[in-house]
Structure formats: C-alpha cells, structure tokens
Chains A and B, each alone.
Chain A
Amino acid sequence: MSKERKMTLTIPREEFMSPGHLACQGCGASLAMRLALKGLGQRTIVCIPACCWAVIDGPFPHSSLDIPIYHCAFETAASSASGVRAGLDMVGDTETTVLAWAGDGGTFDIGLQALSGAAERNDDIIYTCYDNEAYMNTGIQRSSATPVGAWTTTTPVKHYKKERKKDIIGIMAAHGIPYIATASVAYPEDMVKKFKKAREVRGTRFIHVFAPCPAGWKSRPEDTVKLARLAVQTGYFPLFEIEDGEKWTLNLKIKERKPIAEYLKLQGRFRHLKEEEIALIQQEVDTRWAKILKSCGL
C-alpha cells in the first residue's frame, strides 16, 4: 500500500541552505534557519551578528546560504538591518525582506538597545532571535536567556543560575510593534507559516525561535526536536503570536501539560537539580503559562 502513496510535503520544498555548513550534529539553529528561509523565500537579505550562525555559515569566501548575508558587529543586528532596509528603500526595492538573525546573547543582552531602537522607529525588518539559552558559540557562557537552574561554564554546578530568564516577548510587546511570534523547530509548519505571515506585515516584526543546542545543553543530538517539542508541551515555551502589541493568539492549545521534569531530565545541564528545585521551576512555568492564557483571553 505504501508504495502507491504520494509523498505530500507540508512545508515548501525549496532549499536555501546548502549542506556542508559548520553546525554541530543535531543543531537546532541550523534547522531554524532552514525552516525560516523556506518561509521567507529567495528575496531576503540576512544580517548576522556574532553568534553561532556567524560560524555555521562558513569561512570567507564561502557561504552555505543562497541569499545575501551581511556579517555585522555583535550589538548591531537590528541597526544593520535598518540600514540595509534604508538602502533598499533608496533604490526603490520594497519587495526584498530584511532579516536580522541573532542569537539569544545578541538579542537579550548585547543587541537589546539596537533592537529597541529599531522597534521604536518601527523599521521595516524582521528580527529573529534563535534562542539556545546561552553564549554557545564562545563556549557556553550564561546569558540573560539562560533559564533558572541551568549549568553553564560561568554558572558551574555549585553556583548554578539563580536568576530568571528575561521576558523578551514582554519587552517587545511593550514596544507595540505590529507582529511578534514565538516559534519552535519541532513545529515546522507553524514556524514556516509564521515567517510567511511576518513577510507580509510591514514594520518591525519579532520572532522568537526556540533552538535546542545539544553541545551546550548536554543533550543527545537526536533529541533536539524532542526537546523543542517537550518545551512546548510542558508550557515552558508556548507558541503564540501578538499582533499590534495587543491581540494575543495562542497557536497551540495544550490540554494537559507534561511535567517540566520530563523536559529537564533529558539535559545534562539540569542534572544537578534536586526535586524541590524542579518543583520551583514547575511553579514558575505554571505562573507564566497562566499569565499567557490570561493575555490570550482563555
């Protein structure tokens, strides 16, 4: 029976990322880029600050993407994208999408003021943060996107991270930009759909992509997608979108959330956590989930 079946693909077949790039085995970030470009298409220019993708793309003069890339300084992803946009506008090109593609360090910490500036000016760019929850490229240092309880090289087991993850979506929502969304590599259809939608919106658009990192999270490379899926199913990383800073929509309603322990136990960076600490994390996830449900009017 299976022989006669036609293969139906749920996401565009076109490939804008070539193999041979320098990502680790099972990299969530490279999968994120592959899916994002499937949504955005050929007419895209991407600005990449210092982050994993600055390395993954390949050494000069080679590139693994079929679209123009502009490598910029760490803190300038958003402002470079604004500049590219202004340049395109001057030559009358309104069709090309400008994408800023930064890691969590370049978004939550270092690039925050440039991002805030671009959002305030409402520059016509898509800013994507692929979140692997630490400075993975330089050797797993903590960032303000690192969750509570996680081990990193700068928050060793004895002094694991005690601070909460910064609520970047809240910060961006406060700017009142036209489109904000969260996406996960475990839900490719949803992710491609969001990038396609973002492409049609004018103004600053922010997409927060959850991209597991096997090397930094000390998880098995084959678990990348499983972890991303668990993060959604436990309510740790809900999939939702915000339009015009007000209209919240929950894209994936989860009837029964899985316990956060299921997500934590697959990762070596949480191995030291005791049961009471896991209970505290569970509590925090519950609070955030309730808050998001309330914002979505559910």
Chain B
Amino acid sequence: MSKKKEARKIVFESEKEMPAVPMSLGSMLYNKTGAWRNIKPVIDLSKCIKCGICWKFCPDASIDIVDDWPQINYVYCKGCGLCAEECPQKCIAMVEEEK
C-alpha cells in the first residue's frame, strides 16, 4: 500500500469543500468498531502453534501478525469469536469485556 492511512473522520464544513463527484477521500479506520464488542478474544501464546488460522479467518482483518505472532487489534475487533472457534489448539479464550 502506497500511502499511510489515517484514522480520521472527514467532515465538510461547507458545500464548497465537497468534491464535484462523489468519491472516497478517507478510510473507514475512524470507525473504531471495538466498541461493539461484548466478549473479547485473548490468545494464550504459550499454546499457539503459529498456524495463522485465526488471522486467515478474521472477517474484520483485526488480527495482525507481529514478529510472527498473531496479535489481536482490540481497537477494531468486534468480538465475533470466529478465531476462538477455529483455533485448532483452542488457545483463544473469549472473556467478558469489562467496562
């Protein structure tokens, strides 16, 4: 990806700022979907076999691979539990979110 994406919401102050044709100007990263979550996945890395299955199946692209380890991005994880269900080692636990 060429340009670094910003997590900024674009708001037009006046109609002059609007582009002449409807086009996208920014990414959806401003929408921090982590707030939707009731239960959150927690990875027990001591049992992880680095199969990458959790990363592969995440519908929100919220599991990053950092230094060869899966890491959940809690800013965007919606807490669907797919990773915990699909993990062959069962090392992802879904725990109640504390607010």
B-chain residues with CB within 8 Å of residue A7 when the two chains form the complex: 50-52, 65, 68-69
Question: Chain A, 208-225, contact with B by CB distance < 8 Å: what is the 0/1 string?
Answer: 000000100000111111
Interface residues on B, range: 35 or more
A31–B61 alpha-carbon span in the complex (Å):
8
A94 at the interface (CB under 8 A from B): no
Beyond A20-B30, A225-B85, whether A63 also contacts B24 by CB under 8 A is yes
A-chain residues with CB within 8 Å of residue B49 when the two chains form the complex: 2, 5
| B85 in contact with A19 (CB, 8 Å) | no
* Nearest CB on B from A75, distance (A): 20
| A31 in contact with B26 (CB, 8 Å) | no
Q: B52's contact among A8, A26, A42, by CB below 8 Å, is which?
A: A8
B43 at the interface (CB under 8 A from A): no
Question: Which residues between 1 and 39 of chain B lie within 8 Å of chain A, taking CB atoms?
Answer: 1, 5, 7, 9-10, 19, 22-33, 36
| A10 in contact with B31 (CB, 8 Å) | no
A20–B81 alpha-carbon span in the complex (Å):
17
List the B residue with the shortest CB-CB distance to A14. B1
A-B residue pairs, 8 tightest by C-beta: A19-B76, A222-B81, A26-B80, A63-B24, A25-B80, A64-B28, A20-B28, A31-B59
* Sample of 5 A–B contacts (CB below 8 Å): A2-B47, A7-B50, A34-B61, A62-B10, A226-B85
